[in-house]
Amino acid sequence: ISFNSVDSSLSSLKNCQSYINTGMDIATHVALDLVESFNDIEDVNSMENVILEYAAMDRELNHYMTAIEETVNQIKREKPENIPDLKILVKEKFAALESKNSDSDLQKNEKYLYFKNQLKEMRKQFRHQSDNDNEGIEQIDEDIAVTQSQMNFICPITQMEMKRPVRNKVCGHTYEEDAILKIIQTRKQQKKKVKCPKIGCSHADVKRSDLLPDEALKRAIDSQNKQ
């Protein structure tokens, strides 16, 4: 049995998944724009609902692709004399997967977790900047707060202000993207693991796949420089 047309369809579905991921990225950036411009919280929450809708689409698409792959593997394994109805088999497996759905699944989506983390960091950064603008804050407290904030802008590798910060989703520390990737590449060639460069961190296996762009921190750095 040739499954070329099925493989082609699966490839098209995976392209759809990339469009979903792009949509989630755009919704995240819009939410960060809203926080940066101090928009109403309802507008930000509406972006969270968009992310959850995308997460539901992503889950449904994953279940459908899994149902197709399991059906094809079953037929290849059993090699039946009479070709079964693929649509019915896929529909049954898909329904079984969908029956296990719960709202908590959507909140475990990696893009949703990234959205929540970036939103939290963005609010923290820009609430701090807003507080500094308020009258009545003693100058010494403001200087300390600004100094601490600027320390978070410094890469532990280059000891310079970051231009493209990435956050390690395992330990939460940030680095300049080019600097950490260079270390990972060098240690990979030496067949050695990479220890987190942040002093005091015990994480001893930094991987490229664990690094995510820290858009909130980048915006805070850019905003500080403009001021």
Q: What is the pLDDT of residue 148?
A: 47
211, containing H or E segment: strand 211-213
6 close to 68: Cβ distance less than 8 angstroms: yes
**Dihedral sign, Cα of residue 113, residue 37, residue 23, residue 209:** negative
Phi-psi region at 139: left, alpha or beta (left = phi > 0; alpha = psi -120 to 50): alpha
Q: What is the pLDDT of residue 141?
A: 46
How does the average pLDDT of the chain come out, rounded?
86
Q: What is the pLDDT of residue 130?
A: 52
Write out pLDDT tens, residues 99-153.
Answer: 999 989 999 999 999 999 999 888 887 765 555 554 444 444 444 444 445 568 9
Write out pLDDT tens, residues 12-36.
Answer: 898 999 999 999 999 999 999 998 8
Write out pLDDT tens, residues 43-54.
Answer: 888 999 999 999
Q: What is the pLDDT of residue 214?
A: 94
User: Which residue type sits at 100?
Assistant: K
Angle of the 4-36 helix axis to the 41-78 helix axis, nearest 10: 170
Beta-bridge partner residues of 168: 211
Q: Phi and psi at residue 10, in whole multiples of 5°?
A: -60, -40
In CATH, 165-225 is 3.30.40.10: yes
Given pLDDT bands bounded at 50, 70 and 90, which one contains residue 83?
A: confident
- pTM higher than 0.85 for the full model? no
Write out pLDDT tens, residues 203-213.
Answer: 999 999 999 99
Q: What is the pLDDT of residue 77?
A: 87
Distance CA 4, CA 213 (A): 37
Given pLDDT bands bounded at 50, 70 and 90, which one contains residue 1?
A: low
Distance CA 23, CA 25 (A): 5
Domain boundaries, the chain: 3-128, 165-225
